[in-house]
Amino acid sequence: MKPDKIAIPLTADNREKSSGIPGLLLNRFAHLQMAQLSVGDYMINDEIIIERKTKEDFVQSLLDGRLFAQCARLRETGMIPLFIVEGNPYKTAHHIAPTAIKGALLSINLSWQIPVIKSSGKEDTADIIVMAAKQELNTLYFVRKNGKKPKKRQNQQHYFVQGLPGVGPVLAYKLLGHFTTIEKIIRADTATLSEVEGIGKKKAEQLFRFFRKGED
């Protein structure tokens, strides 16, 4: 019996196609698309951003300085970040002290506050992505609405906007970046809302009607 397909969308970076993982996920997601992601390798419902690295790439990115720059970009998305490391990073072809690897893993977890999960291989990675999507599906409302509200005004604005119909953290940042205030978002017509990247005609009409319910 085939498993029920997960309803929320998954986007995989084009460069991940050769890994074979998108193929493993194809039958588990109702909405899976390939795209050129500027950050991360997999994006779940515009809410979770995942960076996948083989053990060799993880160590190489530490050596050439890419690792923490990637952590910064993951954080800047406003989404929930996750690192998946395939294989044992302590056993690679690179000559690097185990303490350096341990320090990097601790830094990602503690300093950058990005959880790191070890995967035994591609199948395991696919399973982790599926589990993350299921948790997102089951807890999205609770996390977004009942979590501790941010104190800074800018964060409060973002918290409000991401709760609008069809708007997650990424679109919230884009909307606020384009309009600068919530008032301007509320007053915008559908054509102006559609100018924001990621806001199509249907979503623009949905937002426009949301702010004007009860008006005739």
Residuewise pLDDT in 10s, the chain (216 residues): 456 788 889 999 999 999 999 999 998 998 999 999 999 999 998 889 999 999 999 999 999 999 999 999 999 888 899 999 999 999 999 989 999 999 999 999 998 999 999 999 999 999 999 999 988 776 543 344 444 444 455 666 777 787 788 887 788 888 888 998 888 888 899 999 999 988 888 989 988 888 776 444
125, 143, 161: which is the final residue of a domain? 143
Flag whether 120 is in a domain.
yes
- Residue 122 has a pLDDT of 95
Both tokens of residue 203?
Answer: 């979503």
- Residue among 156, 189, 151, 196 nearest 175 (CA): 196
Would you say 2 and 130 are in contact if contact means Cβ atoms under 8 Å apart? no
Report how far residue 168's alpha carbon sits from residue 45's, in angstroms, rounded to the nearest whole number: 8
Q: Please, which residues bridge with residue 53 across strands?
A: 85
**Cα end-to-end distance, the chain, whole Å:** 51
Flag whether 114 is in a domain.
yes
Angstrom CA distances, 73 to 3, 34, 123, 153, 196, stand at 34, 20, 26, 22, 21
Q: 32 and 100 share a domain?
A: yes
- Residue 147 has a pLDDT of 47
Total structural domains in the chain?
Answer: 2
Flag whether 1 is in a domain.
no
- Residue 155 has a pLDDT of 63
- Residue 216 has a pLDDT of 43
Q: 20 and 92 share a domain?
A: yes
119, 143, 167: which is the final residue of a domain? 143
Q: What share of the chain is helix, strand, coil (3-state, %, to 5)?
A: 50, 15, 35
Both tokens of residue 117?
Answer: 């999960």
- Residue 43 has a pLDDT of 95
Flag whether 215 is in a domain.
no
Flag whether 37 is in a domain.
yes
The dihedral through the CA atoms of 184, 80, 136, 5 has a sign that is positive
143, 178, 196: which is the final residue of a domain? 143
Would you say 32 and 26 are in contact if contact means Cβ atoms under 8 Å apart? yes
Q: 116 and 159 share a domain?
A: no
Report how far residue 100's alpha carbon sits from residue 174's, in angstroms, rounded to the nearest whole number: 37
CATH of the domain at 89: 3.40.50.10130
Flag whether 216 is in a domain.
no
Flag whether 202 is in a domain.
yes
Flag whether 5 is in a domain.
no
Complete DSSP assignment for 45-75? TTTEEEEEEEHHHHHHHHHTTHHHHHHHHHH
In one letter, which amino acid is 199? I
Give the structural domain span for 204: 148-210
In one letter, which amino acid is 69? A
Q: 60 and 130 share a domain?
A: yes
